[in-house]
Amino acid sequence: MLDRNSIAKRIAQELQDGWYVNLGIGIPTLIANYIPEGISVEFQSENGILGMGPFPFDGEEDADLINAGKQTITAMSGASIFDSATSFAMIRGQHIQLTVLGAMEVAQNGDIANWKIPGKLVKGMGGAMDLVASADNIIVAMMHTNRKGKSKLLKRCSLPLTGVGCVKKIVTNMAVLDIVEGGFKLIERAPGVSIEEIIAATEGHLIVEGDIPEMTF
């Protein structure tokens, strides 16, 4: 099984030169640490920066420079800063090539739920609804099962939706899966994880065709 960093590392392999990328809170944020060599991407954070850099060195934090997770960050050379409406013009206007975000549940039709557990946890959707409604290319980064061991890859989401039919790819601690007509198509396995284990951990319809390679790093 992959840890959070390895999930991020695997998703980083999807990055293409010249892309503008929005990374959500949690595992997606870690992707910035694993940009493949020879590739140049610009990270957008929806609170209003393009060209987000790494975390600052101890003592160099700036309260006026944070990411959407409210963490202190730095700005790369060539970065730009803008207001929230302009930021979402980039997102809604499809100027961003890749969006990576976390999820509580993903359904086999591409529905995603990640903002609310009725009666329990209500944090709000933040920018997630805008991101998933507009992005062409959405990857979900999450654990395959929740803390109780229940699958997060479902036939239908049980929680309130964030967006409908929008997720294209999922990278979990167990597998890489594409959302295709009819279900989750297994693309790769995490090192040492068997197809049987993935089937057992996937409630939605899993499509397994031919040999499924292990992820390589």
* Among the listed residues 13, 71, 97, 137, the single contact to another protein using CB under 8 A: 71
Measured CA to CA, the distance from residue 55 to residue 23 in angstroms comes to: 14
Closer residue to another protein, CB minimum distance, 161 or 170: 161
State the minimum distance, in angstroms, from the CB of residue 199 to another protein: 29
Which of 125, 28, 115, 127 is closest to 84 using CA atoms? 127
Q: How far is the CB of 164 from another protein (least distance, A)?
A: 4
Which secondary structure element, helix H or strand E, spans residue 80, and what is its range?
A: strand 75-81
Does 136 bind another protein (CB under 8 A)? Our answer is no
Residue 35 sits in the site that holds another protein (CB under 8 A): no
Yes or no: say if 187 and 177 are a contact pair by the CB < 8 Å rule.
yes
Selected from 82, 178, 188, 212, the binder of another protein by CB under 8 A is: 82
Place of tokens 């700005």: 75
Q: In terms of DSSP bridges, do strands 49-52 and 42-45 run parallel, antiparallel, or are they unpaired? A: antiparallel
Q: Which two tokens stand for residue 126?
A: 């933040």
Binding span for another protein by CB under 8 A among 10-18, 122-130, 176-184, 187-195: 122-130
Chosen residue from 26, 127, 183, 204 binding another protein by CB under 8 A: 127
Separation of alpha carbons 40 and 203, rounded Å: 37
Binding segment (CB under 8 A) for another protein, from list 53-61, 136-144, 173-181, 194-202: 53-61
Q: CB of residue 40 vs another protein: minimum separation in angstroms?
A: 20
Q: Closest Cα partner for 15 from 29, 32, 2, 30?
A: 32
Nearer to another protein, 119 or 192 (CB): 119
Q: In this structure, how many other beta carbons lie within 10 angstroms of the beta carbon of residue 86?
A: 13
Q: Which of 62, 199, 208, 214 binds another protein (CB under 8 A)?
A: 62
Residue from the set 13, 35, 88, 97 that interacts with another protein by CB under 8 A = 88
In the sheet where 112-113 sits, what is the strand order?
112-113, 105-107, 153-154
Instruction: Report the nearest approach of another protein to the CB of residue 207 (Å).
Output: 24
55 binds another protein (CB under 8 A): yes
Residue choice 134, 145, 172, 202 for contact with another protein (CB under 8 A): 134
Per CB under 8 A, 27 contacts another protein: no
- 14 as an active site residue: the answer is no
CA angle 141/207/158 to nearest 5° reads: 55
